[in-house]
Amino acid sequence: MAASSELAILVACALLLAAACGGAPDDVPELEIGYYEETCPEAESIVRAAVSEAIAVDAGVGAGLIRLLFHDCFVQGCDASVLLDPTPSNPRPEKLGPPNVHSLRGFEAIDAAKAAVEEACPGTVSCADIVAFAARDASYLLSGYRVDFTMPAGRLDGRRSNASDTVPSLPPGSATYTELVDNFANKGLDAEDMIVLSGAHSVGHARCSTFAADRTAVDGDADIDPSFARSLRRRCVQQAENSTKEEEKDDPTVSQDAVTPTELDSQYYSNVLKRRVLLASDAALLETPEAARMVRDSAGAGGRWERKFGKAMVKMAGIGVKKAGRHAEIRTNCRVVNH
């Protein structure tokens, strides 16, 4: 065989291998920036308007929308399976899985975006793409426009949604560093993606029931700043006492980032370094010298983390995308599969 054709085969193999390994975010297969330019040119601006309206009422919905993309993509791929409501034929969809129930929010903002998009271009824009656009827009708005990236589209909606898929796919707040790295690796994301995406914990809240037992026990050995643990204990009690909402009384919530609670920013990494974070999985990012180096790297100002976050969101939004087949469709209503 001539040397030049051997070289060509070698190059082709290397390219195939890189594609199979996931590669950089720009390699996300099959999705396109500006996918709806011809078929529904207003799609992205309609979604942004709906997200902006929802965040103006409650910034927490923005946090919910960022998380919704994570919980959608890690379970059955980015196919809007997380949005499906229970039905007699499918009484336990993902929504009711332990990591999601009483915890996920933002569904109404997705409904509003979908309704407006359907009015403009019926049957054209998938719910999975709306979830991805909404997470991008919430990141943009909550970061004061500093997390600014384009989101490729062209996903279809799935028809399977099963609560039992959630626990094996989503890492718990008690996960160790190795567990987190393994979990993300299963989805084609590396340790740096995991650390960069964890920065989303600079917005939104967590329920005291998810972290209090292992992080704020009086004689606990959790790796947490003791004065922060004390303030968390106090805030959980006060929140339960003062809240007018029934669910908050039963299971109060506290902001993940006590310093800039509604801003998506790199403050999270300073909190990690000071051991002032809620979850064991946040504290775990100092478990190895290599992870701690990445945390310090993201803690700096100058937009470094903001750029990396955008890239990692696009990479995450490319997990297990459905493009065709019997089990893929564009739903009319994001909460129910088409008949």
Least Å distance, CB 204 to ligand HEM, is 2
Nearer to ligand HEM, 171 or 310 (CB): 171
Nearer to ligand HEM, 134 or 197 (CB): 197
Contact residues: ligand HEM, CB under 6 A: 60, 63-64, 66-67, 70, 103, 105, 171-173, 175, 180, 194, 197-198, 200-201, 203-207, 210, 279, 281
Least Å distance, CB 171 to ligand HEM, is 4
Rounded Cα distance, 108 and 173, in Å: 25
Nearer to ligand HEM, 224 or 279 (CB): 279
Task: Using the structure block, give the residue that is written with the tokens 């999705």.
Answer: 31
Nearer to ligand HEM, 120 or 286 (CB): 286
Nearer to ligand HEM, 127 or 212 (CB): 212
**Those residues with Cβ within 8 angstroms of residue 144's Cβ, 6 or more apart along the chain or in another chain:** 263
Backbone angles phi, psi at 281, to 5 degrees: -70, -25
- What are the distances in angstroms from CA 283 to CA 111, 172, 210? 35, 13, 14
Q: Shortest CA distance to 229 belongs to which of 213, 245, 241, 243?
A: 213
Rounded Cα distance, 73 and 165, in Å: 12
Please indicate whether residue 71 is annotated as part of the active site.
yes
Least Å distance, CB 62 to ligand HEM, is 8
Least Å distance, CB 63 to ligand HEM, is 4
**Those residues with Cβ within 8 angstroms of residue 274's Cβ, 6 or more apart along the chain or in another chain:** 225, 228
The three-state secondary structure class of 145 is: coil
Nearer to ligand HEM, 48 or 105 (CB): 105
Least Å distance, CB 208 to ligand HEM, is 8
Least Å distance, CB 87 to ligand HEM, is 24
One-letter amino acid for residue 98 of the chain = P
Least Å distance, CB 271 to ligand HEM, is 14
Q: Report CA torsion sign: 104, 172, 157, 69.
A: positive
Rounded Cα distance, 89 and 266, in Å: 44
User: Taking CA 100 as the corner, what is the angle to CA 314 and CA 146, rounded to the nearest 5 degrees?
Assistant: 35
Q: Shortest CA distance to 93 belongs to which of 163, 23, 14?
A: 163
Q: State the maximum Cα–Cα separation within the chain, in Å, rounded to a whole number.
A: 79
CB atoms within 10 A of CB 334: 23
- What are the distances in angstroms from CA 41 to CA 115, 117, 120, 129, 306? 16, 10, 9, 14, 27
Which single residue brings its beta carbon nearest to ligand HEM? 204
Rounded Cα distance, 55 and 257, in Å: 18
Nearer to ligand HEM, 103 or 126 (CB): 103
Question: The tokens of 212 are what?
Answer: 């209090």
Residues with catalytic roles:
71
